[in-house]
Structure 1
């Protein structure tokens, strides 16, 4: 690693073998040295989970000039903690997560291991960005995302992000017409329902698969990530790690006397 170049810490929740992560390595290696610490297998839906009752392990799986790739036994957030403690030697200039195979817009940000990486980096005071493509195919086409990924990371490397703010970037599934540009937008208000599929276990009792149907509660609003994605834009959503509901504080002052 070259101390004169920016250090970019990469992780994901699809696992170290995922195409989206390996495409991201190729996209960003011209911008700086790359350290990858990613789960050794898929950890989708991990959110900000950490491993507290089992030891963590990691191994180096590839080294080439300016790039080191490690696989970790833990969650995406574990990967960030382990990389910062054991591998970086210096504070990364940016933490980047993805590119996720699947949509992380709207309420999905709360469940996303991709965004768990980003939130952890942000809480450590490092500018952090998550990238997701609305395509679950293991061999998804990431090529249309290249100029946007590089442009956003270059901008963040140059100017940083406000303290406590990270970015959730979602790409529509590519079409023949390409993307219409980027939209800075807020998280759409939506809800998952019918989230469990029950089946009879052959040895008795029930078992359940997580499934679900997503409903956008404000489809006509044009300032949301859901609208941007539906209309061919790359959705860039600033996310804060301070989840305090400041607007509600004055209305709850009576609780201070309890």
Structure 2
């Protein structure tokens, strides 16, 4: 009898978020599922880990439940580490993170807790995918993207991912029938033009909210931003070796 794939599910919006519930629903049909996710929202935590505070892990699934679930008091990356080091007896066949409430395309991948969880999986040698939907509403309609999640997950289970990479998948906010297909893309060059919204408490103490405007600096038809704006699912292979290999020859000309 063929052993079912073991699938680890996590996210950064917290274990109760509708996005992760949708992801769990899809993964239950593909294999044996373990969920380890933050107990509260951890958006934009990047690849942070907890080293100066205690960590707590709580089993939140009911006895004999179809899916075993744990909440973690730390970050998305902490959650992955807990799953791999403390809970699982063997390496998962797949790690999926998300479905994030909001896009993680372009430069947003740097800040994303969703994608950092996937990257941590990749570092551990687990084929890993981060899924995000371009809809920030807590009640976003994730049903529309479930077939695409399943299709991509099955491909990864069957074929793996290229060495040293994880996949960053972003969905446009469209009905399933209006999504034109899936495109393999590169990360668009974009920036956040940021500012701090300065306010004052009733006692006169200043405080700040970070705000900003997302600016796409290019419009090539091979980018994730173009795909999303034109009705496609974008799939970007992301590498976690951050060496700028193209810069090494130039640096070797320096008088060091």
Deviation digits for residues 58-82 of structure 1 (CA, Å, limit 9, x no counterpart)? 1011144541011000000000001
What's the CA shift for 1:194? Answer: 2.8
Relative distance call for 1:209 and 1:113 in structure 2 (3 A) is same
Distance in 2 (alpha carbons) for counterparts of 1:214 and 1:86: 39
CA contact (8 A) 1:144 1:178 kept: no
Aligned partner of 1:231 in structure 2 is: 230
Q: What TM-score, normalized by structure 2, do the two folds share?
A: 0.96
What's the CA shift for 1:55? Answer: 1.5
Distance in 2 (alpha carbons) for counterparts of 1:70 and 1:3: 27
Aligned partner of 1:59 in structure 2 is: 58
Distance in 1 (alpha carbons) for counterparts of 2:127 and 2:83: 16
Moved more, 242-251 or 92-101: 242-251
Deviation digits for residues 217-242 of structure 1 (CA, Å, limit 9, x no counterpart)? 002x1110000000000000000011
Aligned partner of 1:11 in structure 2 is: 10
What's the CA shift for 1:212? Answer: 1.0
Relative distance call for 1:176 and 1:120 in structure 2 (3 A) is closer
CA contact (8 A) 1:15 1:41 kept: yes
1:1-258 map, 5 Å: 4-63=3-62, 64-175=64-175, 177-219=177-219, 221-255=220-254, 257-258=255-256
Between the two proteins, the alignment pairs up a number of residues equal to 255
CA contact (8 A) 1:141 1:174 kept: no
Moved more, 56-65 or 13-22: 56-65
Q: Tell me the SS of whatever aligns to 2:252.
A: helix
**Two-structure CA RMSD over aligned residues (Å):** 1.5
Q: Structure 2: any 5+ residue segments left out of the alignment?
A: none
Distance in 1 (alpha carbons) for counterparts of 2:214 and 2:117: 24
What's the CA shift for 1:254? Answer: 2.8
What's the CA shift for 1:177? Answer: 4.7
